[in-house]
Amino acid sequence: MALLVSAYVAGLLLPGDAPRPLLDGWLAGLIKLALVGVCWASAARTSFRRPELLLTAAGVTLVGISDTYLLLVPADVRPVAFPAPNNVGYLGFYVLMLSVLVILLRRQIRTTTWSVVLDSTIGVLGASSALVVLLTPVLLSIDENGTGLSLAPGMGNPLFTLLLVAGIAGIAISQGPVDKRRWILFVLGLVIFASTNIVYALIGTGYVVGTPLDAGWAVGLALIATWTDAAANPETASPHYVNGTAALALPAISTAAGLGVLILASQVPIPAFAVGLAATTMALAAIPLVSRQVALRRQARTDDLTGLPNRRALYAGVSLRLSTDRSQRRALLLLDLDRFKEVNDSLGHDAGDRLLVQVGDRLLSVLRTGDLLARVGGDEFAILLDHSGQVEAESVAAKLRNVLAAPFTLEGIALQISVSIGIALYPEQGDDLTALLRKADMAMYKAKSNNSGHHVYRSVDNSHGETRLRTLQELRVALENDQLVLHFQPKIDLSAGIVHSVEALVRWNHPTRGLLFPDQFLALVEEANLMHGLTQEVLRKALDQAQDWASQGRPLTVAVNLSASSLVDADLPERVGAMLKARDLTASALILEITEDFLMADRDRARDILVRLRGSGIRISVDDFGTGYSSLAYLRDLPIDELKLDQSFVFPMAEDPRAAALVASTIDLAHGLGLRMVAEGVENATTYDELVRYGCDYAQGYFMCRPVPAAQLDLWIAARTGDPARSL
């Protein structure tokens, strides 16, 4: 077939004016018959179950029959006017090809979005409007009013040519998966065939048989027949997606065509049909612009993660409600998740995001229809309650805390969270959202610091809020300007009365408020997410001091407390190891003290961190042992070296036999597990002597020495030499 078509096209390109029956008649007819055979053979390979192949074969057959009719029936006896047999055949081809396009387009639309369908419609209408203008001389006859329509006769009625080109434009814009090879063959064949008919229609009576124009019909049909062959062989398919540039360019070109028709209509007479198509094209092209503006406006007021209104929407909604009715009582609740950073650090930000989505869903389930819930940033949510005073607001706050108290499931872990809620009342505590948010924020931090769950703003909270903000800023400056200092408290070896190790305790040497103890600033450090920086600073100073003592020939092990938020740092073991190596210290120079709360809250993560730390030789101590919800299981499972019995057990030992019995049994338990026992809070000689009698390993407390700067501790140790009972 390829050889026949090539020979035919080459013959048409040769010069010559005389009729060439062999070329223009028999070879052209033979080609059409060969194409008919290819199409039906392709349909047969699919057992005639592919309607698009059947319709294509029938269409090509009609063209072949029409061409054979023209070849066999002399021109002087053939009817010219419609419905001549040849015209019926050609029109039938167009109808069948349009049917094939409809089938293909329907398959594409099933897997495409409404925007792609809209683009395809724009492409159809834009291409149609431009083609109507192009075919006006033959497609339309314009009456004196410029509105009358009548069909022009001729081979391949131009109206069907117009519809075919419009269909091609529509399917070209659809972005569904198509086979690249099939797409090129079928569409290119239709385009060549339709373009040849357009040129033929424009030439009209000037058409001459045997010119290169005749090649258009043969080549177009040959490509269509080849497409049927490829379509009948699924294994030859190569999935292909229309690229984004083409998908955007085609509707843009169609829109430009419609605009061009409208501009041309203002200069010269154009059929009303074409103007209507162009106007419809422009109207549809405006829909995506309008819908995009609406979507952008909605997106600007919606939180991307939770789908809730965002801070901008909260301001707009509250302003609208206040401007509508200022007499109504309202309450603003500001809700903050406690220790949310630990979720992100331990489970990852993806898990934290899923938690926020679930929190938003639960909050919505409790609130009334008219209440306004918004995510204002991070792990903070704001809620505006209409028709609400203090009693109603506190009742809602309690409901919110209860619904959030149920465990959340993240990464297969049942996670419980707590929240702190600040409440500000309208209008007595603020007449706009800015004032209400500021006071709700103060109340929320008051609830957080008191662990009360929720708190209603009071005037005394204002000064507290200002103090907190000022202190937060000063804390950041303190970390940058080296205002943190360490005091050290010795741990006495009760069997020998000597000092092998000390505990490092951080203090803040405030420039105006003097020396501040941890209970005055550590909570703010956690809230401001500064604990990582603080921990690094304490470790640095503690190990620097250990290095100084080692260089003086008096090595002392330094114990450093780590918060739960520090222990979720996956890189902590490597970072600590690097700090020891940089100072040429062995791992035995450091003990890390952790709390039971961390061990109980996240056993798997604790095991990973502690195993890596212990593997590097760093010893692990459990601080405040006995004060939390203890479980003896972790003493068996986790790599722990030391227990520090909380001072609440040690204080009453001298006067409370039950307390003394608890201390004695705990010491025996530690020794039975191969652990060292340290008693905290030793305040008098009686307690000291009892601990020695019970076999406690180490003790620390004010009876022996308060936490003091390193230089003062050096003097105390020097003075104590030879007098283990000496105190400071």
**pLDDT (tens digit per residue) in 600-648:** 555 666 678 888 888 889 999 988 887 754 556 667 777 889 999 888 8
Two domains, one topology: 311-458 and 488-507+531-720: no
Is the pLDDT reported for residue 72 higher than 80?
A: no
With tokens 């690097």, the residue in question is: 578
Is the pLDDT reported for residue 409 higher than 70?
A: yes
Residues paired with 240 in a beta bridge: 178
Is the pLDDT reported for residue 175 higher than 50?
A: no
Residue 141: CA count within 13 A, CB half-sphere? 5
pLDDT at 155: 38
Average pLDDT of every residue of the chain: 79
Residue 192 Cα to chain centre, angstroms:
46
The 8-class DSSP code of residue 14 comes to S
Residues paired with 557 in a beta bridge: 501
pLDDT in tens, 208-243: 777 778 888 888 888 888 888 888 876 554 444 444
With tokens 């901008």, the residue in question is: 312
Reading the block at residue 630, the tokens are 């203890």
Q: Where are any strands of DSSP class E within 208-310?
A: 239-240
- Element housing 413 (H / E): strand 413-415
b/e map 139-152, b = 16+ CB within 10 Å:
bbebeeeeeeeeee
How many helices (H) and strands (E) are present in the chain, helices listed first?
28, 18
**Angle at the Cα of 173 (from 170 to 179), degrees rounded to 5?**
100
Residues paired with 622 in a beta bridge: 594, 643
The CATH code that applies to domain 488-507+531-720 is: 3.20.20.450
Q: Are residues 129 and 261 in contact, defined by beta-carbon separation less than 8 angstroms?
A: yes
Using N-to-C axis directions, what is the helix angle for 657-672 and 685-694, rounded to 10°? 40
Q: What is the average per-residue pLDDT within 264-282?
A: 72
Q: Are residues 682 and 703 in contact, defined by beta-carbon separation less than 8 angstroms?
A: yes
Phi and psi torsions of 54, nearest 5°: -60, -45
The 8-class DSSP code of residue 387 comes to S
Is the pLDDT reported for residue 683 higher than 60?
A: yes
In which band, very low, low, confident or very high, does the pLDDT at 586 lie, cut at 50, 70 and 90? very high
| Rounded Cα gap, residues 586 and 139, in angstroms | 96
What is the C-alpha radius of gyration for the chain, rounded to an integer number of angstroms?
44
In which band, very low, low, confident or very high, does the pLDDT at 248 lie, cut at 50, 70 and 90? low
pLDDT in tens, 445-456: 888 877 888 999
Q: Are residues 134 and 200 in contact, defined by beta-carbon separation less than 8 angstroms?
A: no
CA distances from 662 to 491, 495, 641, 642, 667 (A): 21, 21, 20, 17, 9
Give Dmax (Cα) for the chain. Answer: 139
Does 287 or 57 have the greater pLDDT score?
57
| Rounded Cα gap, residues 217 and 12, in angstroms | 12
CB count within 10 Å of CB 517 equals 13
| Rounded Cα gap, residues 219 and 5, in angstroms | 7
| Rounded Cα gap, residues 332 and 385, in angstroms | 6
With tokens 């997410």, the residue in question is: 529
CATH top-level class for 311-458? alpha beta
- Element housing 344 (H / E): helix 340-347
Q: What is the pTM of this model?
A: 0.47
Q: Which of 560, 561, 556 is nearest to 501 (CA)?
A: 556
Q: What is the average per-residue pLDDT within 577-587?
A: 93
pLDDT at 723: 47
Is the pLDDT reported for residue 486 higher than 90?
A: yes
In which band, very low, low, confident or very high, does the pLDDT at 101 lie, cut at 50, 70 and 90? confident
Q: Residue ranges per domain, the chain?
A: 1-110+177-192+215-237, 112-175+241-300, 311-458, 488-507+531-720
Residues paired with 422 in a beta bridge: 334, 455
